[in-house]
Amino acid sequence: MSDVKVDKPAAVPADKKNWRSSGGVRGWFGRQHWAVRTVLIIVFAVLAYLLPYAGDIPVLGPQIITEGIDWPSALFNMSYYVLLALGLNVVVGFAGLLDLGYVGFFAVGAYTVALLTSPDSILKTEWGWLAAVPVALAVAMVSGLILGWPTLRLRGDYLAIVTLGFAEIIRIFATSSETLRGDRGFADIPHPPGSYSDGKPIFGVADATPYYWLGLSVIILVILGVRNLDRSRVGRSWLAIREDEEAAEIMGVRTIKYKLWAFAIGAFIGGLGGVMFAGQQGFMNSQTFILQFSILVLAGVVMGGSGNIFGAILGGALISYIPDRLRGIEDPIFHTDLFGFRFAIFGAIIILIMIFRPQGLIPSRRRAMELKDREKEVAPQ
Amino acid sequence: MNFSGLIQDFGPLTITGLAQGAIIALFALGYTLVYGVLRLINFAHSEVFLLGSYACLIVWGFFGLDQNSATPNVFSVIGLLLLGLMAAIVISGLTALGVELVAYRPLRRRNAPPLAFLITAIGASLFISETVGVITKRNIKAVPPLIRPADVFVIGNMHVTNLQILIIVLALVMMFVLDRFINRSRLGRGIRAVAQNPDSAALMGVNKSRVIALVFLLGGLMAGIAAVMYDLKIGVTRFDAGFLLGIEAFTAAVLGGIGNLRGALLGGLLLGVLQNYAASLFGTQWLHAASFVLLVLILLVRPTGLLGESLGRARA
Amino acid sequence: MSEPHVETPQQADEANAHRSDVAGGTSAPGPAERSSDVLLEVDHVTLRFGGVVALNDVSFSLRKGEIFGLIGPNGAGKTTCFNAMTGVYRPTSGTISFNGESIVGKKKHEITRGGIARTFQNVRLFPEMTALENVMVGADAHHKTSVVGALFRLPRHWQEERSGREKALELLRFVGIVHRAGEVSRNLSYGEQRRLEIARALATNPTLLCLDEPAAGFNPAEKEELLALIRKIRDTGVTVLLIEHDMRLVMGVTDRIVVLEFGKKIAEGTPAEVRDNPKVIAAYLGVPTDAA
């Protein structure tokens, strides 16, 4: 994604090695004057806001946009997948906790909104969407703490299985309990508020573009927040925990506290994704939160580059974009919509990435080095 | 909660639970063997089982059997069963080996961090089950009625059927054979050596790669047998059949003490029975949730399981 | 933390230079004789793992401002004793108190913040962090910024980042690797890593610094440099506990020594006393104690 900006060095092969060793795009970006950096970031953000009109680009446009689903909706889907990937990246990438039940927090956020707003809910509160958002986010965060508190003392691989178990319990609960209405789900969840001067609502049913813009704005805020955390005592503590938990604790890092924070922040961002999802769809049921969904987001984080914010964004966008782009195209053998292959495709991508490029597409500087060094340590046999 | 139901149906719940538990136990062996040697949760083991459950159906399909066929005569049944078992064993074994070669070995060469293996395993699992899902259009596939359940004996309201006896006996026999193999044979000694100390085992001339492949193969064989039993007992299979039962099998392995063969048997039987009791108490829709809750509780309270973690019996 | 001690290495350097002038660089009149305040007390500590008795009724105490040696042959229980003092293991019986307060059952990070810092026998840095970041993790032990402060970039965040960075740079200068501050720690040489570990431990503002075989793998010249560094640390007011199995090294720097063998204390005293103790000689030469 960011490699696109690099046009010169590709033309001069002799520069290639120098380019790599001086830190590639990121190194180049870091060396620029702050004003240049700011301008570049703003240009990039503006381009992102203009994405709904990508179809109007001559020649290239029609290749980019999706066919089986309208382009703004595809963009909105990307935005909540990116949110989920950003959140999971905090848990897996920064703190090194493999959470396989991440979609559970997405579900908690979405269900809280549904319960508070939908006329189908037993609460009968029928709040507006905006009023339900803070409650939903708080509930998601608390659920992160509730999951984290008993489980964070577990070994890494056991933690993974327990989080998976928790997500399945949430799903079974959503399917089986009367309160959460199983397959019947919740209808008429209100959209976000606001209307144009002529009285038409901004967030309507026909056009998903405003939802995408809302999602993008939320993403930008989340990026700023996550980046602030990463470059602070909090990020250092997470990294220390990931690298050597016991040594970290002996150096005074409150490991349980920071692991809980990672869980809570991840849950918060996941809940944010759920809140956005519920507000756009207007309807949701227990079928929305299958386990494969969690794994898909994990695939996105791993593919993009675990521990790297921009890697997570790229990965999150791809896990949504690729299936949506394939939607409406039929495969020649089984005559299924290619969209149905999405989990199989990403299953294969996970394996390929882990084997051939374990640091991901946009690796975190540290991860890449760590993996390289481990490679050197292999005992000759 | 329905306590009187549980007490009234205690016998029938126990025997059906034991049959289900026997299948889970065979399935759990794969997790336990691989974990014992590699300290790795082979998440893709559920798909090893899944492909086995389809393999025998395909073989039976060659003989024109489907869910509407009449039950064939005794000799055909035995022949078909053996063929189905063979097919499932071969396919499951090959799948397990394939996963090891394609997904794990390259990572091991590179000395990848432990969680990398788990992530690849998840990828492999997703890839296999979803490919089956696409091919079968996510439909249920019914199993031909090879064995019609018939009561062999009745104690009170507990009806013990031929199928239940077959499943439980077969599982016990396979367990016994595997236990003998690991503890008595030369290859089994290699497995125990690698489980206890991979590096010194390698120094003593044990071929580590071959031992690891063998372990995956053995787990696959057991999963193949479990898959055929599952088909016969449940009567249907589907692309996601491996996943849910896989979590249960993993729970069983952890319950008994992962890495411990006898623990897998104990954990499997116990889990099968407990699930049934829970389903009777809280309602059948909570059957799977019960095993998850149990898994979480064990990991929190006694992560080494009932019998402790040890494939080589040397680890404290 | 009640003990007033010199905060910055610069001041420490000055103090050191001053002291060297006076004492001529020898360790003869140890500070132990000047101050008998007990800093850390190990009181009848026994530690069992299953059937193995790793520590058997061990008692000794450290005085403020001294360099204390804990020595013994391999497998004598030195590291076990050390781990009990830093909260990694919990004694089966007996108590360990620091500044008059029991530390048994306290969390590891609490013990660290209380003023005990340590290094590891096999270096355990955070390999992907830079040298500077490693030390900053240590400095973070006394910081108060948490998620909210970092998220909203509150003034305290900036102030603590700045002071933490300054302190980390000073400590890197103190141990002599400030030119490597921006390097990822796994790329440092072995000797630099050992020094970095000491800097990281010092960043937690310890009253007691525990060094677990800091000279392992060093050549004689490097050992000499390390001894100088240890003296320099002590002169900033930090009490130093040194674990070693190399007797000669310990003799040159410590004020007092305790000798462990098979989990038991077999001798205690000044280097000279310990050196002449027949039990110690037997332990090191492998002669059965009864025969000696």
List the subunits that have 3+ CB pairs under 8 angstroms with A: B, C
pLDDT at A367: 61
pLDDT (mean) for A248-273 = 94
Q: Given an 8 Å threshold on Cβ–Cβ distance, is A244 in contact with C124?
A: yes
Task: Check whether residue A35 and residue A162 sit in a common domain.
Answer: no
Separation in Å, CA C219 to CA B32, C222, C249 = 47, 5, 12
Evaluate whether residue A364 is within a structural domain: no
CA distance C120 to chain A (A): 9
Nearest CA to A236 out of A250, A248, A224 is that of A248
Is the pLDDT score of A16 beyond 50? no
For C142, the token pair is 């006394």
Is the pLDDT score of B186 beyond 70? yes
Evaluate whether residue B148 is within a structural domain: yes
Evaluate whether residue A102 is within a structural domain: yes
Question: What is the per-residue pLDDT across C122-145, written as a single tens digit (0 to 9) for each?
Answer: 899 998 899 999 999 999 999 998
Evaluate whether residue A1 is within a structural domain: no
Q: Give yes or no for a contact between A107 and A289, defined as CB atoms under 8 angstroms apart.
A: yes
Residues of A in contact with C152 (CB under 8 A): 228
Evaluate whether residue A363 is within a structural domain: no
Q: Given an 8 Å threshold on Cβ–Cβ distance, is A169 in contact with B119?
A: no
Residues of B in contact with A157 (CB under 8 A): 40-41, 114-115, 118
Task: Check whether residue A138 and residue A233 sit in a common domain.
Answer: yes
List the subunits that have 3+ CB pairs under 8 angstroms with B: A
Residue A161 φ/ψ, nearest 5 degrees:
-70, -40
B250 touches chain A (CB under 8 A): yes
Residue A40 φ/ψ, nearest 5 degrees:
-60, -45
Task: Check whether residue A222 and residue A78 sit in a common domain.
Answer: yes
Q: What angle do CA A80, A232, C178 make, to 5 degrees?
A: 140
When CB atoms are compared, the residue of A239, A249, A254 closest to C129 is A239
Helices (H) and strands (E) in chain C, counts: 12, 10
Is the pLDDT score of A7 beyond 50? no
pLDDT (mean) for A253-274 = 94
Q: What's the number of domains chain B is made of?
A: 1
- For β-strands C264-269 and B141-142, DSSP reports them as unpaired
Highest-confidence segment of A17-31, C1-15, C91-105: C91-105
pLDDT at A253: 93
Evaluate whether residue A339 is within a structural domain: no
User: Among A145-154, B36-45, C163-172, which stretch is predicted with the lowest mean pLDDT?
Assistant: A145-154
User: Among A22-31, C34-43, C143-152, which stretch is predicted with the lowest mean pLDDT?
Assistant: A22-31
Evaluate whether residue B96 is within a structural domain: yes
Task: Check whether residue A92 and residue A134 sit in a common domain.
Answer: yes
Evaluate whether residue B217 is within a structural domain: yes
Q: Given an 8 Å threshold on Cβ–Cβ distance, is B134 in contact with A348?
A: no
Q: Domain range holding B67?
A: 38-251
Task: Check whether residue A21 and residue A112 sit in a common domain.
Answer: no
Evaluate whether residue A266 is within a structural domain: yes
pLDDT at A156: 75
Task: Check whether residue A83 and residue A191 sit in a common domain.
Answer: yes
Helices (H) and strands (E) in chain B, counts: 13, 4
Evaluate whether residue B80 is within a structural domain: yes
User: Among B65-74, B176-185, C19-28, C244-253, which stretch is predicted with the lowest mean pLDDT?
Assistant: C19-28
pLDDT at A316: 93
B303 burial class (0-12, 13-18, 19+ CB within 10 angstroms)?
Answer: middle
B114 touches chain A (CB under 8 A): yes
Q: Nearest residue on chain A to B130, judged by CA atoms?
A: A344
Q: Domain range holding A241?
A: 71-295
pLDDT at A23: 58
pLDDT at B86: 95
- Taking each helix axis from N to C end, the angle separating A291-304 and A71-88, rounded to the nearest 10 degrees, works out to 80
Q: Count residue pairs from A and C with Cβ separation < 8 A.
A: 104
| pLDDT mean across residues, chain C | 83
Q: Which element (helix H / strand E) includes C69?
A: strand C67-71
Q: What's the number of domains chain A is made of?
A: 2
Query: What is the share, in percent, of chain A residues with pLDDT greater than 70?
Result: 88
Q: Nearest residue on chain C to A368, judged by CA atoms?
A: C128
When CB atoms are compared, the residue of A154, A158, A375 closest to B110 is A375
Domain boundary among A240, A270, A295: A295
Q: Which element (helix H / strand E) includes C40?
A: strand C38-49
- Where do we find the tokens 């004996």? B153
Q: Given an 8 Å threshold on Cβ–Cβ distance, is A366 in contact with C160?
A: no
Domain boundary among A280, A295, A310: A295
Nearest CA to B271 out of B241, B244, B285, B250 is that of B250
B208 touches chain A (CB under 8 A): yes
Q: Which element (helix H / strand E) includes B11?
A: helix B10-38
Q: Given an 8 Å threshold on Cβ–Cβ distance, is A247 in contact with C126?
A: yes
Evaluate whether residue B264 is within a structural domain: no
For A324, the token pair is 């949506």
Q: Nearest residue on chain A to B108, judged by CA atoms?
A: A378
Q: Is B158 helix (H, G, I), strand (E, B) or coil?
A: strand
pLDDT at C208: 94
Instruction: Give the whole-angstrom CA distance, residue B30 versus residue B28.
Output: 5
Q: Which of residues 83-112 of C touch A (CB under 8 A)?
A: 86-88, 107-109, 112
Query: What is the share, in percent, of chain B residues with pLDDT greater than 70?
Result: 97
Question: What is the per-residue pLDDT across B81-114, written as a single tens digit (0 to 9) for each?
Answer: 999 999 999 999 999 999 999 999 999 888 887 7
Q: Given an 8 Å threshold on Cβ–Cβ distance, is C112 in contact with A252?
A: yes
- Where do we find the tokens 């990508």? A54
Evaluate whether residue B295 is within a structural domain: no
Give the residues across from C258 on adjacent strands.
C70, C268
Question: CB neighbours of C79 closer than 8 A, spacing ≥ 6?
Answer: C121, C212, C243
Q: Nearest residue on chain C to A244, judged by CA atoms?
A: C126
Task: Check whether residue A32 and residue A76 sit in a common domain.
Answer: no
Task: Check whether residue A84 and residue A38 sit in a common domain.
Answer: no
Q: Give yes or no for a contact between A280 and A208, defined as CB atoms under 8 angstroms apart.
A: yes
Which pTM was predicted?
0.85
When CB atoms are compared, the residue of A229, A246, A253 closest to C151 is A229
Question: What is the per-residue pLDDT across B238-269, written as a single tens digit (0 to 9) for each?
Answer: 998 898 899 889 989 988 888 888 899 999 99
Q: Given an 8 Å threshold on Cβ–Cβ distance, is B130 in contact with A344?
A: yes
Is the pLDDT score of A370 beyond 80? no
pLDDT at C163: 94
Evaluate whether residue B193 is within a structural domain: yes
Question: CB neighbours of C26 closer than 8 A, spacing ≥ 6?
Answer: none
Q: Given an 8 Å threshold on Cβ–Cβ distance, is B115 in contact with A354?
A: no
Query: What is the share, in percent, of chain B residues with pLDDT greater than 90?
Result: 44
Task: Check whether residue A21 and residue A129 sit in a common domain.
Answer: no
pLDDT (mean) for B121-149 = 89
Question: What is the per-residue pLDDT across A63-87, written as a single tens digit (0 to 9) for each?
Answer: 888 888 899 999 999 999 999 999 9
Evaluate whether residue B191 is within a structural domain: yes
Residue B309 φ/ψ, nearest 5 degrees:
-90, 110
Q: Nearest residue on chain A to B117, judged by CA atoms?
A: A354
